[in-house]
Amino acid sequence: MKTKILLLEDDLNLSETVSDYFDEQGFDVTCVYDGEDAIAAIYENNFDLLLLDVNVPNKNGFEVLKEVRKQNKSVPAIFITSLNSMDSLEEGFSSGCDDYIRKPFELKELLIRVQTILRREFSHNKSDLIQITPEITFNSISNELRDKGVEIKLNLKELKLLKFFLQHSNELLVHDRIYDYVWDYDEEYSDNSLRTYIKNLRKILGKDKIVSLKKLGYRFNQE
């Protein structure tokens, strides 16, 4: 399963250049060209990272991210802009962004910034490769789960659930937080389907990795 990026950029040439480059690097990029479309796409999908140009039609990048944060979405974000003033930099970070890159930029630099932030989402681990058990690893960039080097295929919901657990290991995750992350806004969720995905992950990782806290939620045990 590829890492999903939303790219908000109204310069069609730049949008295509960035999108093609990140596609080649193994990412799944969704392109939008104005702020309203960006908000709609973020509301309807679970992205791993947002790349937001500031000067775009309808709502600017700052306004988009402020609205996203009001929805309690913590997806990391990088602003792309030609603005150079300290005021714009301060506004960007006060909007809730994680990083800021000025035009013109090298694609390689943007890639490095994206990879750094994605690693930070798994801040308990210092590399892309997370050692879940002595035999099982998860690559936080490529989203590959492997057992003794052999890739284990997960469906989309199982992958989202595993990523959420790894991002919040050893924390109590209440059911509503899990539903909000794993299911898109227009999808129906149920306790039974969640239990099925939990059961499947336990078969792969071991039953003691995911602990059920009765009527509260789940905790992912990770040393």
Sheet of 217-220, strand order: 172-174, 217-220, 210-213
| CATH for the stretch 4-121 | 3.40.50.2300
Q: Where are the domains of the chain?
A: 4-121, 129-220
Q: How far apart are CA 18 and CA 110, in angstroms?
A: 9
The CATH class of 129-220 is mainly alpha
Q: What is the pTM of this model?
A: 0.62
Q: What is the pLDDT of residue 124?
A: 47
pLDDT under 50: residue ranges of the chain? 124-126
Q: What is the pLDDT of residues 149-188, one digit of tens each?
A: 999 998 888 988 998 899 888 889 999 889 888 887 667 8
Nearest by Cα to 208 from 196, 199, 221: 221
Which residues have a Cβ under 8 Å from the Cβ of 153 and sit 6 or more positions away?
A: none
Q: How far apart are CA 197 and CA 213, in angstroms?
A: 16
